[in-house]
Chains A and B, each alone.
Chain A
Amino acid sequence: MPAFGSFALLVALALSGYNLLAGAVALRQLATGRRGWISPERLAETARRAGIASFFATACAAFALVWAAFTNDFSVAYITEHTNRALPAAYKFAALWSGQEGSLLLWAFLLSAYGFVLRVRHKVDVKLTAYASTILAGIQVFFLLLVNVAATPFSLVQGAIPADGNGLNPLLQYPEMVIHPPMLYLGYVGFSVPFAFALGALMMRYPGEKWIHITRRWTMVTWLFLTVGIFLGMHWAYSVLGWGGYWGWDPVENASLLPWLTGTAFLHSVMMQEKRGMMKSWNVWLIFSTFLLSVLGTLLTRSGLVSSVHAFAQSSIGTWFWVFLVFCLAVCTFTYILNRDHLKTEHKLESLVSRESSFLFNNLVLLAACFTVLWGTLFPVLSEYVQGNKVTVSAPFYNRVAVPIGVFLLFLTGIGPILAWRSTSIKSIRRNFVIPGIVGLVVAIAIIPLGVHPWTIFTTDEQGAFYAWITFAMAGFVLTAIFAEFFRGAKVIQQKSGQNLLASMIQLTRRNTRRYGGYIVHFGIVLIFIGIAGQAFNQSHEQTMNYKQSFLLGPYRVECLDYSQDSNPNYDTEFALLNVYRGDRLVTKLSPELRIYAASQQPSTIVANHSTLVADLYVIYAGKDPATGQPVIKAFLNPLVAWIWIGLLITILGTGIALAPNLSAAVASQRHRVTAPEPVAAGRAGD
């Protein structure tokens, strides 16, 4: 199987290389009008088919690695390092992305899968797709070169074949780890497609905004994958790492946030190009930056440039990524300089108080957030270079610098949708802002007696309560603004159709899925902000516990019922059984664990969490007191965390709705099939 996998990777590289070269020659011939011994159309078609075939070859290689994991083929060094016999089947599958070589193979596989879809659907626009396919083939060649030369997943072990492997990192033995990395990679890799279309459109001086219409769904799906990947990572960190939080501002976490921020900016600013032919250069550079930041994130993760608890071991692979990054940047810059006259804006901003301006400021704030995260991530490297010593840039820095930017972004989330395109009148501002403004003010006052004291910022060094207070007030403002948008539209439908308000809201959403799906995404994001703001009021308690001993945390009393230990072939475990009371009422039983994995002898905490909409009671087994042998229990009371995960679900729902075609357009499309010859662009109408 290793030989088959290696061979499949070589074939994939050859096919992608052919796709790149033949595609480039064909496009050059088409552009210059010169013809070779084979027509450029036929050459381009062979290139496309080679690209499609490269997907099957890469899939074979990925299959070979998974097969080796399932059959315990410890002649493959990668399998020895990342699996063992006792590893459950689902985690053997996850071994594909648990190490450097396997994860690069996964990257190459997903890239070829995206390329496969793109090449199969080439009839959307044959010439533009040919450009995008060739550019994508270039990226494929890079990743396939990596797995063929620099980080080969099918290397064989030196000497005797071991009887068992080292096992998978215990921290990765968690259900979410089976889907978090593929989701994240689908996001990272997916941005290659809009990047390829944007670069291709610029190279061929593609007229109009059709490339944006073609890539809109690609970009949204990719953005969704990245969002889900990031949040699955957060949930995994929360559930497995056992430090009571979900985001540690670790460089690898930051690396995933960078393309997400620019991708989000692109999704907003692209509307200005579609609606008013503005910000063409800006949009092209946003999508270029998003792709380049995905590559930079991978570089940071794998080169050892920054210290991270996540990062793969230091290796020479960083040099490859540096070269690739610089090459891509040079190609983008060169293409832009050659064709920038093609990107002249058709309209200009007419008012600071307009939808366009809000998008512009939204983009500015998102990019400022992106820069802050990048700056904080790279500052230790810069400091070492300038001062000769490394500094740490961790949570306190981001809490002070990035949080205010986030709060301002939340404010813009509320303002943007209620401003009109081109210019907004004072009367309209008054009409649309008064009720959300009042609600925001009421929330700001109402939460003070609940313990949200913003003035602590003036009396202590603690800023959390102040920003939480602003966030809650802003959330009230934004949610009201969103609801008012739905209400206004639904009321009109209700008056005309006589339906109830809920049915009218559903119909309203179906008529303009992009606009109202977008609002639902905003609704989800606001809930996420509320959940994050709850962090300002976290409490914790740590205690060594004997039988029947208890402690109080917030409204809960945690009592130790028992503690014991157990073992199975994969791990030994110590655990405590805890009763949780609220007053005299038994609320739940929790059983935090500490596992020691047999293969690696590494410990891993299994968190016990009682989650409600108000707060999570998050309990970990922190070890045994060496003097008494009694368990040390650490408990956290984390308010509002559940809203983060609810917000994510709503964001997924909103994105799904925004991806669906409009009701009216779909109906029109059905009619069109029966009668009219004129094409209908389903789902293109929107806001």
Chain B
Amino acid sequence: MRRLTRLAVLPLVVVLGVLTLGSADTQARFEDIGHKLMCTCGCGQVLLLCNHMGCPSLATESAELQGAIDKGQNDNAILMAFQNEYGPTVLAAPMLTKFNILAWVVPPALLLLGFAGTVLLVRKWRLRTATMPAVAHDPTANDLRERIRRETEV
């Protein structure tokens, strides 16, 4: 069974490998990390989206980023180096550290809690709903039903 699973997974891995070949090259990493950093000129834009004419920060930060990628530093090290140099506001989103982790955790946690709460609430309501006694057949209601059917049909 295990062998079968391996056989099934192997072509998948090969296909994935071929299809994503070169996806982590230097240019892609520059684009990726460049979109995780902010331009520090005060424009409030993501680094690679800053379109200020002659922006002094864009050129400097881009050169630093390219240099760090060329040196073979990993993404986290590059982001940390930028944070140390320019302060935490240079990161376009908070890192998963200490208090900042709350930024990432709170919204999905509340959504999950909301879901759980809603499901429990509906179950509770359903349990409380008493079964209605069967209504005796009333032939006079047939006219009314027919009228409602006529009025509500498309």
Contact = CB atoms under 8 A, between A and B. Distances in A.
B53 A603 contact: yes
Nearest to A504: B154
Interface stretch (A290-298, A385-393, A426-434, A577-585): A385-393
Q: Top 9 A-B pairs ranked by shortest CB distance?
A: A348-B125, A397-B93, A396-B93, A368-B111, A372-B107, A623-B53, A394-B92, A459-B20, A309-B44
Interface string A371-409: 110011001000100110111111111001110010000
Nearest to A460: B23
Given A352-B122, A364-B114, A387-B99, 7 more contacts: A309-B44, A351-B126, A392-B89, A393-B93, A395-B46, A459-B16, A634-B51
B77 interface: no
Interface residues of A toward B: which range? 35 or more
A365 B111 contact: yes
Given A248-B45, A391-B88, A383 B23 contact: no
A405 B111 contact: yes
A394 B104 CA distance: 12
Given A493-B154, A623-B53, A397 B103 contact: yes
Given A458-B16, A605-B51, A364 B93 contact: no
A578 to B, nearest CB: 17
A308 B110 CA distance: 27
B118 interface: yes
Contacts of B49: 243-245, 248
B107 A308 contact: no
A142 to B, nearest CB: 30
A375 B107 contact: yes
7 contacts: A243-B49, A364-B118, A396-B36, A396-B92, A456-B23, A459-B16, A459-B20
Nearest to B16: A455
B19 A492 contact: no
Contacts of B106: 375
Contacts of A367: 114
B94 A391 contact: yes
B50 interface: yes
Contacts of B115: 361, 364
Contacts of B91: 391-392
B44 A250 contact: yes
Nearest to A250: B44
B104 A400 contact: yes
Interface string B94-130: 1000111001101110110011001101110110110
Contacts of A351: 122, 126
B99 A383 contact: yes
A361 B122 CA distance: 11
B64 interface: no
A307 interface: yes
B92 A307 contact: no
Contacts of A390: 88-89
A360 interface: yes
